């Protein structure tokens, strides 16, 4: 059997250009080939700069930058209206099927729906059968192909998570920025109203308050598996578009049958969860016992009606590919209507007649598992005879586990390649949302460009090229959505405690690793300056290198054995190794990249771009280092520029709330420990040679210019130590770090007792440091007093480390309050939302 030729989206049946393509092609022609290629490169660069990827940045081997073809897929308004009506009916049908499966199960009882498609189905979650009556689908998507006859057919139904909305929105935004001329020639419907409808619909899902009235300002959260998920960017993007919190399973807890978000301030109830993870993984108590990303007790909370989950955890059961074979009959049975938008012809091979049809004409069919829509289909016609026989033997052994769908060639649309415009097959995904009264389609979508050898069935490749979808209209009438929710005025809040504890933890450690990376760069540069002079190392430089080696080893940059050797070549080799991707500095780069991504939803676009672009530039400089120390020194400059960019953007772009406080707190803790250790190592030498240690102290604390402006060329221990240890106005000094830590801890919300304990610990450390400097100033021999500090400063560093541990227990670990027999426990420090 010869496969029919694919239909061309741009050309009509008589070889002429379709009317709705003329305006766009006219605008594109004005660019010329070179101009269009330049816009395509700008579009790719824009996605890269925005950090639009389909996996976690930092995992370079698995990262795929999202790509969008600059040529959109055009759909006339009348064609889209027909598609919207057909898919809305289809969504109503799937909702009715779900209601029966998780309700009375009459379709299963009378044999209309084979039990083999439900009970073994991984999407069927038996615990969901006991949930209260509710609308199970809130968001629905369908993958469509246009066959050679010009009709759109559904390739797959997406009811579990319906991914791709965030990418569709980002495609439109960046394409409008890079190719604005094309939009001026067309009347393209906007996507924003759809997200407004969706946001209102999520708020309307919230359970009523105890009096039965709609809850004012309900709390909506998007539940994500975390930053390692391939769709993390979309989860972050949607949480912003829908103005809801982005949470992971560990951020939530169930108390008294309700779901709460764990924040620094305590527990805050969540009313609606927008689920973006596998339904089987959301509750390890009742579903997948091995799930580490779920929320224990979540299904029970949904059963009690205190939280709504969209889409319902068990909604994925109707994604089974074999179900498409039964939809026409089910539509007549449940809705009393004929199916408006058909599926690609599908057979369930559990029926003898279907198996015979596939065996008689294998070139027409693609064979795939009946219950798993994520697996790519197999084409018997192109398989080796032995492989085809083995496949059919597997089908014959367990026929109910297999389905066959017609091998329909998708229509082709113009795509930009290196050689110009070429027709390529496309698959279209459209999205619909339930607004409480009916289904509303997004006037646009996400198209996937298929390679000739690619399969239309199964999940799309993460590296596939996408297309923006333009729905054209002939009028400029306003799009009116549902009536807005009436919400009473909200109470003004300027608190810092609403920050989720996990986010505060990540920001705290982001600050620490940024500071740790900068410290490594400064130490490496100081060591390289002494190693790379091309002359014999002077005796005083040997002493300085020994001190720097101890600093580098304590910072984890080089191994201790390289720090303790007298051979400068050994230290040079260790420094060069540290700068490589697999070295200690490369590990710090990866940690900063991971933590930056984990708090991306808390950073504005400009902040995220500044963080990632300067980090990427610093990593590129480090990767380009050859075997020369000069190249390594140059790479360290890039790291310090990155650190300065982070500090500047945080100071000017972050509201002085919990996020900024914990980012800054991490930096102060890390820098305070570093200064205490480095001053101790630099001064660890006999009193008669203390001048060299003092000069090294000023260099490491970046305070030499300030010292000269105050004291000219007079170098004495007390003034140096006052500047780097006790001067609260020196941002590179120890006192500044402790004073800022005290102020931040004093400002953070929380129980007054716990807050006073932490802030008091910081104040106590500051007093100790000031006493050390006062002792040096009052000593008869300042050099001897300064040489004694290496025995006392490590205790200060240990005190800062202990304070960090107490901050972790207080704000991040969220341990329950300490309980003591006979006492109320009101003064316990370890108080939080367990």
3-state DSSP of 498-524: CCEHHHHHHHHHHHHHHHHHHHHHHHH
Model pLDDT, residue 802 = 95
Q: What is the dihedral of CA 341, 346, 350, 353, to 10 degrees?
A: 110
Model pLDDT, residue 58 = 38
3-state class (DSSP) for residue 713: coil
pLDDT(487) > 90: no
Q: State the Cα–Cα distance between residues 387 and 254, nearest whole angstrom.
A: 51
> Exposed, middle or buried: residue 745 (CB in 10 Å: 0-12, 13-18, 19+)?
buried
Burial 314-350 (b: 16+ CB within 10 A, else e): bbbbbbbbbbbbbbeebbebbeeeebebbbbbbbbbb
Q: State the Cα–Cα distance between residues 364 and 381, nearest whole angstrom.
A: 8
pLDDT band at 726 (very low <50, low <70, confident <90, very high): very high
Model pLDDT, residue 627 = 75
Strand partners, 152: 146
Strand partners, 413: 424
Burial 275-311 (b: 16+ CB within 10 A, else e): bbbbbbbbbbbbbbeebebbbbbbbbbbbbebbbbbb
Per residue in 511-527, pLDDT tens?
Answer: 999 999 999 999 999 99
Per residue in 562-615, pLDDT tens?
Answer: 886 656 788 888 999 988 888 899 999 999 999 999 998 888 888 888 999 899
Q: State the Cα–Cα distance between residues 99 and 659, nearest whole angstrom.
A: 43
User: What residues contact 220, with CB distance under 8 A and at least 6 apart?
Assistant: 202, 203, 206, 242, 243, 244, 245, 270, 271, 272, 273, 274
Query: If you average pLDDT over residues 16-29, what whole number do you get?
Result: 81
Q: Cα 219–223–228 angle (5° rounding)?
A: 145
3-state class (DSSP) for residue 822: coil
Model pLDDT, residue 795 = 95
pLDDT(20) > 90: no
Q: State the Cα–Cα distance between residues 528 and 102, nearest whole angstrom.
A: 69
3-state class (DSSP) for residue 151: coil
Question: What does DSSP assign to residue 472?
Answer: B
Q: Is the dihedral of CA 41, 44, 48, 49 positive or negative?
A: positive
Model pLDDT, residue 488 = 54
474 vs 191, 192, 221, 310, 381, CA distance in Å?
A: 17, 19, 38, 35, 45
Q: Is 217 left (phi over 0), alpha (psi -120 to 50) or beta?
A: left
Model pLDDT, residue 565 = 61
Q: Is the dihedral of CA 657, 599, 234, 202 positive or negative?
A: negative
Pairing mode, strands 402-406 and 365-369? antiparallel
Q: How many CA atoms lie within 13 A of 784 on its CB side?
A: 4
User: What residues contact 633, with CB distance under 8 A and at least 6 apart?
Assistant: 524, 525, 528, 529, 532
- Give the domain ranges of the chain: 19-344+408-471, 499-654
Question: Rounded to two decimals, what is the model's pTM?
Answer: 0.84
Query: If you average pLDDT over residues 693-717, what whole number do you get?
Result: 92
User: What residues contact 45, with CB distance under 8 A and at least 6 apart?
Assistant: none
pLDDT band at 463 (very low <50, low <70, confident <90, very high): low
Specify the higher pLDDT residue, 428 or 601. Answer: 428
Pairing mode, strands 466-471 and 439-441? unpaired
Given a contact cutoff of 8 angstroms between Cβ atoms, the answer to whether 194 and 140 are in contact is no
The helix (run of H) or strand (run of E) holding residue 334 is helix 327-334
User: What residues contact 321, with CB distance under 8 A and at least 6 apart?
Assistant: 156, 346, 368, 369, 370, 371, 372, 373, 403, 405, 457
Model pLDDT, residue 390 = 92
pLDDT band at 460 (very low <50, low <70, confident <90, very high): low
Per residue in 69-106, pLDDT tens?
Answer: 999 999 999 999 999 999 999 999 999 999 999 999 99
Q: How many CA atoms lie within 13 A of 224 on its CB side?
A: 22
Question: What does DSSP assign to residue 58?
Answer: T
Model pLDDT, residue 64 = 60
Model pLDDT, residue 57 = 38
273 vs 270, 276, 580, 600, CA distance in Å?
A: 7, 9, 43, 20
Q: Cα 29–34–35 angle (5° rounding)?
A: 60
Q: State the Cα–Cα distance between residues 659 and 697, nearest whole angstrom.
A: 32
> Exposed, middle or buried: residue 423 (CB in 10 Å: 0-12, 13-18, 19+)?
middle
Q: Which range, of 28-42, 291-305, 807-821, averages the lowest pLDDT?
A: 807-821
User: What residues contact 567, with CB distance under 8 A and at least 6 apart?
Assistant: none
- Mean of per-residue pLDDT scores for the chain: 87
534 vs 294, 528, 537, 579, 630, CA distance in Å?
A: 59, 11, 9, 21, 11
Question: What does DSSP assign to residue 427?
Answer: E
pLDDT band at 30 (very low <50, low <70, confident <90, very high): confident
Per residue in 229-250, pLDDT tens?
Answer: 888 999 999 999 999 999 999 9
The helix (run of H) or strand (run of E) holding residue 440 is strand 439-441
pLDDT(742) > 90: yes
Query: If you average pLDDT over residues 185-210, what whole number do you get?
Result: 92
Model pLDDT, residue 5 = 61
pLDDT band at 184 (very low <50, low <70, confident <90, very high): confident
Smallest Cα–Cα separation from 503: which of 756, 239, 164? 239
> Exposed, middle or buried: residue 427 (CB in 10 Å: 0-12, 13-18, 19+)?
buried
């Amino acid at each position: 059997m010869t496969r029919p030729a694919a239909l061309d989206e741009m050309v009509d049946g008589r070889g002429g250009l379709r009317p709705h393509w003329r305006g766009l092609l006219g605008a594109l022609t004005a660019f010329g080939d070179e101009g269009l290629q330049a816009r395509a490169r700008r579009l790719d660069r824009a996605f890269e700069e925005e950090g639009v990827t389909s996996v976690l940045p930092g995992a370079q081997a698995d990262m795929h930058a999202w790509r969008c073809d600059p040529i959109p897929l055009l759909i006339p308004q009348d064609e889209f209206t027909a598609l919207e009506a057909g898919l809305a009916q289809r969504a109503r049908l799937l909702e009715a099927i779900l209601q029966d499966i998780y309700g009375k199960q009459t379709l299963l009882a009378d044999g209309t729906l084979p039990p083999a498609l439900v009970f073994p189905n991984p999407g069927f979650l038996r615990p969901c059968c006991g949930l209260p009556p509710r609308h199970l689908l809130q968001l629905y998507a369908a993958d469509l192909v246009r066959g050679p006859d010009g009709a759109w057919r559904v390739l797959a139904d997406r009811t579990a998570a319906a991914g791709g909305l965030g990418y569709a929105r980002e495609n439109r935004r960046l394409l409008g920025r890079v190719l604005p001329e094309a939009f001026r020639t067309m009347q393209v419907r906007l996507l924003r109203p759809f997200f407004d409808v969706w946001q209102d619909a999520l708020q309307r899902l919230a359970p009523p308050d105890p009096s039965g009235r709609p809850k004012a300002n309900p709390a909506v959260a998007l539940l994500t598996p975390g930053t390692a998920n391939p769709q993390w960017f979309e989860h972050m993007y949607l949480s912003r578009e829908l103005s809801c919190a982005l949470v992971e399973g560990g951020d939530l807890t169930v108390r008294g049958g309700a779901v709460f978000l764990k924040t620094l301030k305590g527990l805050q109830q969540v009313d609606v969860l927008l689920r973006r993870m596998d339904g089987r993984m959301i509750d390890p108590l009742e579903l997948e016992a091995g799930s580490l990303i779920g929320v224990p007790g979540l299904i029970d909370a949904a059963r009690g009606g205190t939280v709504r989950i969209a889409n319902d955890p068990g909604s994925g059961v109707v994604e089974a590919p074999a179900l498409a074979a039964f939809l026409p009959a089910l539509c007549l049975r449940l809705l009393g209507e004929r199916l408006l938008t058909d599926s690609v012809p599908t057979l369930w091979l559990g029926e003898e007649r279907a198996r015979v049809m596939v065996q008689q004409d294998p070139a027409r069919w693609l064979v795939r598992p009946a219950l798993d829509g994520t697996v790519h289909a197999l084409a018997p016609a192109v398989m080796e005879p032995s492989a085809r026989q083995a496949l059919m033997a597997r089908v014959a052994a367990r026929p109910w586990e297999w389905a066959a769908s017609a091998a329909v060639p998708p229509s082709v649309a113009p795509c930009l390649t290196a050689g110009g415009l070429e027709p390529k097959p496309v698959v279209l995904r459209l999205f619909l949302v339930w607004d409480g009264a009916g289904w509303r389609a997004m006037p646009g979508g996400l198209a996937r460009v298929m390679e000739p050898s690619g399969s239309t069935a199964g999940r799309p490749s993460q590296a596939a090229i996408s297309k923006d979808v333009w729905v054209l209209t002939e009028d400029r009438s306003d799009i009116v959505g549902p009536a807005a929710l009436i919400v009473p005025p909200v109470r003004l809040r300027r608190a810092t405690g609403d920050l989720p504890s996990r986010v505060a933890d990540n920001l705290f450690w982001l600050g620490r690793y940024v500071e740790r990376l900068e410290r490594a760069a400064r130490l490496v540069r100081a060591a390289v300056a002494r190693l790379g002079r091309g002359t014999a190392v002077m005796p005083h430089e040997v002493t300085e290198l020994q001190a720097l080696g101890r600093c580098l080893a304590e910072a984890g940059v080089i191994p201790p054995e390289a720090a303790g050797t007298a051979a400068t070549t050994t230290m040079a080799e260790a420094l060069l190794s540290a700068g490589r991707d697999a070295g200690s500095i490369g590990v710090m780069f990866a940690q900063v990249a991971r933590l930056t991504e984990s708090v991306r939803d808390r950073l504005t676009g400009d902040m995220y771009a500044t963080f990632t672009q300067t980090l990427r530039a610093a990593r590129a400089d480090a990767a380009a280092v050859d075997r020369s120390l000069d190249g390594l020194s140059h790479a360290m400059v890039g790291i310090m520029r990155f650190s300065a960019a982070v500090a500047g953007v945080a100071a000017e772009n972050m509201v002085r709330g919990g996020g900024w406080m914990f980012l800054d707190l991490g930096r102060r803790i890390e820098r305070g420990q570093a200064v205490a250790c480095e001053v101790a190592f630099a001064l660890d030498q006999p009193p008669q040679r203390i001048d060299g240690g003092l000069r090294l102290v000023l260099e490491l604390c970046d305070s030499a210019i300030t010292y000269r402006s105050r004291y000219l060329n007079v170098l004495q221990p007390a003034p140096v130590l006052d500047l780097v240890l006790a001067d609260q106005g020196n941002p590179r000094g120890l006192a500044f770090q402790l004073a800022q830590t005290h102020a931040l801890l004093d400002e953070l919300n929380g129980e007054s007792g716990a807050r006073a304990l932490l802030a008091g610990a910081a104040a106590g450390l500051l007093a100790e440091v000031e006493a050390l400097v006062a002792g040096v100033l009052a000593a008869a021999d300042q050099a001897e007093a300064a040489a004694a500090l290496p025995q006392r400063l490590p205790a200060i560093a240990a005190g800062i480390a202990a304070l960090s541990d107490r901050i972790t227990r207080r704000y991040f670990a969220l341990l329950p309050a300490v309980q003591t027999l006979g006492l109320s426990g009101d003064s316990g420090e370890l108080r939080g939302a367990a």
